[in-house]
Amino acid sequence: MPGADLQSVTDTLDRPLRDLRISVTDRCNFRCTYCMPKEVFGRGYRFLPRRLLLTFEEITRLARIFIAHGVEKIRITGGEPLLRRDLEQLIEMIAQLDGLRDLTLTTNGALLARKAQVLRDAGLRRVTVSLDSLDDAVFKLMNDVGSPVGQVLEGIEAAREAGLAPIKINMVVRRGMNDDDVLGMARFFHSTDCIVRFIEYMDVGTTNGWKLEDVVPAAEIIARINEELPLEPADPNYRGEVVQRYRYTDGGGEIGVIASVTQPFCGDCTRARLSADGVLYTCLFATTGHSFRELLRKGRSDEEILEFLRDTWTARTDRYSEIRTVETVRGAKVEMSHIGG
């Protein structure tokens, strides 16, 4: 971008912006109970009209501006991003941007088998697949639309064959629902090119009925796996990584845990999230955001948008997991389905 200052800007806690998550739709073909429960996101729920969604050209323009601010990694999210028509066109547009080091996508995997190769050909490098159980009955209960686990496993295999590896598998662990599957997940993906990340069920948004007693602590998850498949801690891959990494001592790969409730996990966070309608949220647990769509559609220049981004990021104070209280847990927050987790 001509004239852009490539000097990274930091927030009030000296954290740079390195990772941008871009939601391309607020719609999803699952109704996972911890994210988009049917009681709220039912037949009558009004999703964003198409006119409010950012176009591919608008997304690509913002991505270029964010890269000029220091962003090195972009993750495409949703809702379910593979529901966005012609998504591979957006992938190709973003993949060509100078300065971008990593382009990834998070999906529930139900449509991945038919899309994996075309996404890889367009320039996607890796995928993260949400998979909460290998038990078909439990999986159907959690996605709440009767989607079989085999469909997701087919998507994972297609992604592997397309070269979208290593593949990360996200498992949200909820006590009394799928916590008995933790060890089975570890066994299944041991010695593969998939990295399972076990995530504490967290208090995102206000619609998922979150309760502390439903949380399985990361320490308990690691202890369960370690009894059968011994683990040792591994160093973070980069600054701001929220996952705690562990290696199997037998050389069978690695796993990760995200202690999103039992431990402060976001003190060094370098992420921002752009919703499908162009609102930037500087925290997963944010209550308000900053509209970039309005700037785009009012004809503002790249330099003006970059200045707005600088002003937004330098004022950032977010550290939700360090100050979580009963009041903040119960307070209004943006829904995870709106900003892609």
Give the pLDDT score at 145. 96
Q: Which residues contact 171 (CB under 8 A, 6 or more apart)?
A: 130, 131, 132, 133, 178, 181, 182, 185, 196, 197, 198, 199
For residue 174, give the DSSP letter: B
Q: Quote the domain boundaries for residue 255.
A: 19-339
Residue bearing the bigger pLDDT, 148 or 2: 148
Asked if residue 332 has pLDDT above 90, the reply is no
pLDDT at 219 over 70: yes
> Does 306 map to a domain?
yes
Model pLDDT, residue 35: 85
Least confident range of 95-99, 148-152, 205-209: 205-209
| Burial class (CB within 10 angstroms; exposed 0-12, middle 13-18, buried 19+) of 78 | buried
How far is it, in rounded angstroms, from Cα 247 to Cα 235? 10
State the CB neighbour count (10 A cutoff) for residue 196: 23
DSSP structure class, residue 177: T
CA–centroid distance for 222 within its chain: 22
Residue 1 lies in a domain: no
**Does residue 7 form part of some domain?**
no
Domain assignment present for residue 156? The answer is: yes
| H-run or E-run covering 200 | strand 194-200
pLDDT for 240 equals 65
For the packed helices 182-189 and 218-228, what is the interaxial angle rounded to 10 degrees?
50
Q: Average pLDDT, stretch 229-234?
A: 97
**Residue for token digits 């009041």?**
327
Residue 4: pLDDT band (50, 70, 90) is very low
Residue 161 lies in a domain: yes
- 269 versus 280: the higher-pLDDT residue is 280
Percent above pLDDT 70 for the chain = 87
- Is position 175 within any domain? yes
Rounded mean pLDDT of 256-272? 82
pLDDT in tens, 276-293: 999 999 887 777 899 999
6, part of any domain: no
pLDDT mean over 223-232:
98
| pLDDT higher than 50, residue 75 | yes
Which residue would you say has higher pLDDT here, 11 or 250?
Answer: 250
Is 80 exceeded by the pLDDT of residue 329? Answer: no
Domain assignment present for 14: no
Q: What is the pLDDT of residue 189?
A: 98
Domain count, the chain: 1
- Check pLDDT > 90 for residue 173: yes
**pLDDT per residue as tens digits for the range 16-66:** 999 999 999 999 999 998 888 898 899 889 999 999 999 999 999 999 999
The CATH number that applies at residue 146 is: 3.20.20.70
Mean pLDDT of 106-122: 98
Query: Across the chain, what does the average pLDDT equal?
Result: 89
